[in-house]
Structure 1
Amino acid sequence: MTLADIGAAQVARAVEEFDRLGRRAFLERYGFGPSRTYHLVVDGRSYDSKAIVGAAHGFLPGLRPLKPSEFSGGLDHAVRVLTDLGFRVERSPAVGGGVDADTTADADTDRLVGRIAKLRVATTAGGPRLYQPITLLWAIGRALRGEPRLLSWEETAAALRKLLESHGLRGERPRPDYPVLALHRAGLWSLEEHTGGVPSAHGDAALLRWFAEQRPTGGLAEPVYALLAGSGRARVAVIEAIVDRFFDGVDEVPLLTEVGLYEDSVADDPDTGGPAADDPALDGGDGPVDPVVAAAQYEKWCAAVERREAREGLRDGVRYRERTVRDPVRSGLARQAVLARCDGRCENPGCQGQPDDVTDRWEPLLEVDHVVELAAGGRDHPSQMVALCPNCHAVKTRGRTRHRLREVLLEVALERHRRGPLPS
């Protein structure tokens, strides 16, 4: 059994059968449940992607349909088959944003990080060439800002040429066709609105001619874009994976800054709009969170914060880079951890009562504060950060009792960090 044998003709026959039988009968016939995460979209209609791939295998000569237990419906299996064949696959919006949605996003993130680790790239004496990481980081910045996934080739080429000229530090030529084709072959990039097959990332004049003649639109593969646009955790994990693999000995900050990824918001999830009703008593309906899952996520955030700290300190006994300014990506990660830890309540034990109002995102009115200012040697780390209501934050910043309060909050931050986001 190999998914690679499935072609567009077999997928089309499965889609045709789906339309003829109807969704319920089609799923029952092949033994699949409804797709929870990814859906194939054909002519505006949605299809259960894993079931379609399983059924399509049965239309290969001499082969049978696949059972659900025989393959995965995720990024590296059913989704990749469909996107490699040029089909459109969309990630289903998470309902409620609860633990199930977070767990699915974490699993998809792990698979995506694994695929980045396996990217085939040319290397030099100084390290791997930066064609693909520059292209990926540029596209992730677009996803963060909610910009369209697909862009014309002219716009893509102009943006990537500029970045390759500015940040290609290992002999990279300003040739955006190379990384785009390599990422397409890896299943991470979509090329649409062209005829015939897509060439491999080898050659010179032939590649330039293909792009000049075809002028395809392109961007991150749809499920990859959806994951990176909708999950701050995924963005940070993928950025960390790219930096760790490709930027050893190279300062990534200028590139991250230019593509819009060196800021607190890189770790934030998008605004979901809050409850549909106008009643301010509604809280968004996320439901209870498993404390074990919450604690595990808190550990992940803290580990990511500490990896960034390590990269800026000692590596193999050598000072890698000294920085006296705040690292907004690290602060963004730490901020997410503190907000998850505090359970929506001010962490000042002497708080007289935080406001009942909420933000436009239906979140508590809390501010994450560095107890010890960074200029005074404090850390971008949850062990030295607390969530404070506006009143307590004002006292801590400019109140007459601020010095004593800071001592208390430093102890609270360390104790809450050791405990993690567990019930009181």
Structure 2
Amino acid sequence: MKIKYTMPLFLLISVLFLNSGCSGESTSEVTAQPEEPVEPVKEINLATLITKEPENLASYSATIWGQVTDDGGTSIIERGVCFGLETKPNYDGNKTIASTVKGSGEFEVNLSNLAEGNEYYARSYAKNAKGIAYGNEIQFTTTFADPPIFSVGEKRVSGAHDIFIAIRLDEPGDTELKEIGVVYGLEQNPTLEDKIIKRENLDASFTERIRDLKENTFYFIRPYTKTSKRVVYGEEVLVKTINEGKFTYSFNGFDAANENHVRIKDAFDTATQYYNNFTSITKHVVVNYSPGTPTADANFAGNIRVGSNAGYQRTGTAMHEMAHTVGVGQHRKWNELIKAGIYQGAEANAILKMMTNDPNATVKGDGVHFWPYGVNGAHEDNGKEMTYIIHALIIQGMKADGLPSN
């Protein structure tokens, strides 16, 4: 007899439930994916750099090398040198960007437009994403540029109260000229603290007149130049003024109510002042109003006649006739001094060259007159002071050349 096994109902239900639950799940194995590694954030710092001592130091420029020793962890955007007259110059002030950069981190900066003889402060800088970093500070002083050098010409011309000197530029120098002039005094090495004549124009050469001096006195004179930084003096010269002249005149029959007499007297008053200030001549002459004389005339004896033509009743004519009374065209020595129309005396010619700043100038003449500056007619009397001064100085030169006055 076959016994039949029957599973209890609750067990059957449990088995079915378990089988049903397993069939809903995937039978494949699931593998976990590893996470991406997170790199740490790189720290960025200011660069580190050094400033080296200047090279090629000059009056207006300098070369400075810097070196970035650590870029701070990022690229250098800009590098250069900050500089100025105060300590700790910075990026907001004067700066120059590097002109040359080497792979070693070194960089070159050429500073220009500096001022001569100034003390400067400088430090290198480097800019990266973090900001601006500075190197160590250095200090340097620019050199003084070569100044312009002026000298006094060899020929100096003296009156009793005036000295004329020719100033010329020998060396232009390398610095900007701010002022030029002459200093003078009774003691050696005059400075700006002594008597000074400042020129209005910065001329390369000029003739200077020193006034209001004492007669028969030695003066120390030297040119000076002033730049933005200093005063430079030229070579000193010693020049002596001459004795004041004693040229006098008397006017025969002077009548203050006669306008011709008044004009003639005024002319001779002024003319004798020029002769006494710029010659050492001692002479007395007699002036006559002579209506019948077409212009004017004079002789070595000291007699002068002036006619009624008002054009010849002037200072120039008076000086011209006074020159005749001291030998021009009236003394035998004159014929020795004039050869083939050229005046042979060295001193009068040297005075003319210097006073006109013309090295080729020569006094010319004939048996009666000389020129230029002889004032040989009313048309040559331009009324200018320098015409009268040079005339008198040439006469003084003729005295030195041997032309007698009496």
Is TM (by shorter chain) over 0.5?
no
TM category (shorter chain) comes to under 0.3
TM-score (norm 2): 0.21
The structure showing larger relative contact order (alpha-carbon pairs under 8 Å, at least 6 residues apart) is 1
Structure number, greater radius of gyration: 2
